[in-house]
Amino acid sequence: MPQTSLSMKKIEEILRLKYELGLTHRAIAKSCGVSTSTVSEYATRAKAAGLSWPLPEGMTREELEAQLYPNKEPYRRKKLPLPDWPFIHKELKRKGVTLSLLWMEYRQEHPQGYGYSQFCERYRVWKKQLNPPMRLKHKAGEKLFVDYAGQTLRVIDPETGEIREAQIFVATLGASHYTYAEAQWSQDLPNWIGGHVRAFAFFGGVTEVVVPDNLKAGVTSPDLYEPDLNPTYREFARHYGVAVVPARVRKPRDKSKVEVGVQVVERWILARLRDRQLIGLAAANQAIRELLTELNQREMKHLGQSRWQLFVELDRPRLAPLPAPAYEYAVWKMARVHIDYHVVFEKHYYSVPYTLSGKEVQIRATEKIIEIFSQRRRVASHPRSKEPGRFSTHSVHMPPEHQFYSQWSPERFLRWAGEIGEQTTALIGLALDARGHPEQAYRTCLGILGLAKRYSPARLEAACQRANAARICSYRGVNNILKNKLDQQPLEAEADQPLPSHENIRGKNYYH
């Protein structure tokens, strides 16, 4: 009722300024922030009712209203139909649904209901009565919050028998609060990524966004505006088609959802397992899974539904399908190519194209494969080896001159020489032994053995006998013997003696 819309204190102030101070109606209106006509109406009605200043002690607003408006019935606020606030709160989690749309639907059902502003205001008041996690708006299928619980779980290591503190990985969906948890031995990167993979498998789909706390395993640099993700975590996100948006440092509201999820897991799962004897992670996770099912199916009193019911209704229909195949864990590492066109990973050497010598590359290592990338392009791939100090080399990665020699070995040269004769084998052994590295003698060996085609194996064997006697082990020396037909001349008597032994001569058996 507009005439009595002023508060009791303001009516009293109008009467006080009128009858005690004798101000004009215009001055009173200016002082009280009302119109002059309102002051005139209250002054006229007060005079007709015999009221002045001060008002009778103890007079209520109802009594004052009855005297000012004796012929009017007391104003009674009409009771409007109350919206179904839990339903409206749940509907707002659906994509594209707004308060404006829900108000229009409410007015279609109740044409005499609340106006839009009152509808919004009353919803805000109702929402403040909810628990803190319920006050945050998360669209269905949009966000997955992940973190480790502060509490640990005592688990017996089946290999050592010692009691260890297992870490608890927790993942909570934003809209339905549907929760996943598992025990892990540590919070390292393989466990962190594995927890995500198993959580998505548990939910049967993928959200649009993953919100981790600024865990060192997943976020290498917790910058406020541009957090730097671990390369493995970034690859995982790309595989599943999700965006990783780490919680901001010192912004508790960013991660309140998972913190409440962690709290629920600690109270309803870890607390109940505190005295259980759990041997191994498999037994621990089986116990967690049983209690997790019970937790997700328990009704939440403030919503009248369970996490499972909300998940089926809200999140599950909006999740993207799981990719096939599942993500294979991989470690990324920066490395510089050595001058011998190899990179080292876990003390084993893997070849790359020789043109990349001295340049920086990225290594991607899975359980079975080593891949090397340069400028985002894969340039090499090798089976992963556990042998330290050994080399894995593809011949196509070698310079042209190395590619030719890679087809040979000391054993192969000695076998070839053995087909010609004992003296040829001895000479090839000396040639291989005369160099710091056998590879440096390959060209010489090829030249010497190739002379058998030009002159015949018999003449080469005879030439090698003369060369051994003269301690000659070069291609030029043997070729000169054959060219000058010295192999056809008899050797001096001492030439028939066996080759002398020496501690620096390894002999042909060294290469077998």
pLDDT tens string 70-94:
766 554 556 778 888 888 887 787 7
Distance (Å, whole) CA 414 – CA 438: 12
* pLDDT value of residue 219: 59
Neighbours of 385 (CB within 10 A): 16
Long-range contacts of 423-426 (CB under 8 A, 24+ apart): 423/461, 423/462, 423/464, 423/465, 423/468, 424/448, 424/449, 424/460, 424/461, 424/464, 425/508, 426/464, 426/468, 426/499, 426/508
Say which range, 124-138, 159-173, 174-188, has the weakest mean pLDDT.
Answer: 124-138
Neighbours of 163 (CB within 10 A): 11
CA distances from 352 to 100, 214, 373, 375 (A): 61, 36, 9, 14
* pLDDT value of residue 224: 42
pLDDT-above-70 percentage for the chain: 83
* pLDDT value of residue 494: 44
- What tens digit of pLDDT does each residue of 246-288 get? 876 555 555 565 677 788 888 888 888 888 899 999 999 999 9
Beta bridge partners of 169: 148, 182
* pLDDT value of residue 225: 42
- The strand pair at 219-221 and 228-229 is best described as antiparallel
Give 509's pLDDT tier (boundaries 50, 70, 90): low
* pLDDT value of residue 78: 60
Domains in the chain, please, with CATH? 2-68 (1.10.10), 85-129 (no CATH), 143-318 (3.30.420.10), 331-403 (no CATH), 408-511 (no CATH)
36 vs 69, more confident: 36
Distance (Å, whole) CA 227 – CA 191: 21
CA distances from 168 to 160, 208, 237, 451 (A): 21, 24, 21, 73
Taking 70 as the threshold, does the pLDDT of residue 413 lie above it?
A: yes
- DSSP assignment of 24-76 equals -HHHHHHHHTS-HHHHHHHHHHHHHTT--SSPPTT--HHHHHHHHSTTSPPP-
Taking 70 as the threshold, does the pLDDT of residue 330 lie above it?
A: yes
Burial of 512 (0-12, 13-18, 19+ CB in 10 A): exposed
Helix (H) or strand (E) holding 333, with range, is: strand 331-336
CB-based burial, 342-366: b 16+ in 10 Å, e otherwise = bbbbeebbbbbbbebeeeebbbbbe
Angle at 430 between CA 426 and CA 432, to 5 degrees: 115
**What are the backbone angles phi and psi of residue 137, rounded to the nearest 5°?**
-95, 120
Distance (Å, whole) CA 496 – CA 423: 11
Q: What is the pTM of this model?
A: 0.52
Can you say whether the dihedral through the CA atoms of 488, 493, 494, 499 is positive or negative? positive
Distance (Å, whole) CA 4 – CA 101: 35
Beta bridge partners of 392: 350
Compute the 3-state secondary structure of the chain and give helix, strand, coil in percent, each to the nearest 5: 45, 15, 40
51 vs 428, more confident: 428
Say which range, 20-34, 174-188, 341-355, 377-391, has the weakest mean pLDDT.
Answer: 20-34
pLDDT-above-90 percentage for the chain: 31
* pLDDT value of residue 394: 87
Taking 60 as the threshold, does the pLDDT of residue 339 lie above it?
A: yes
Rounded mean pLDDT of 455-467? 93
Can you say whether the dihedral through the CA atoms of 266, 258, 222, 187 is positive or negative? positive
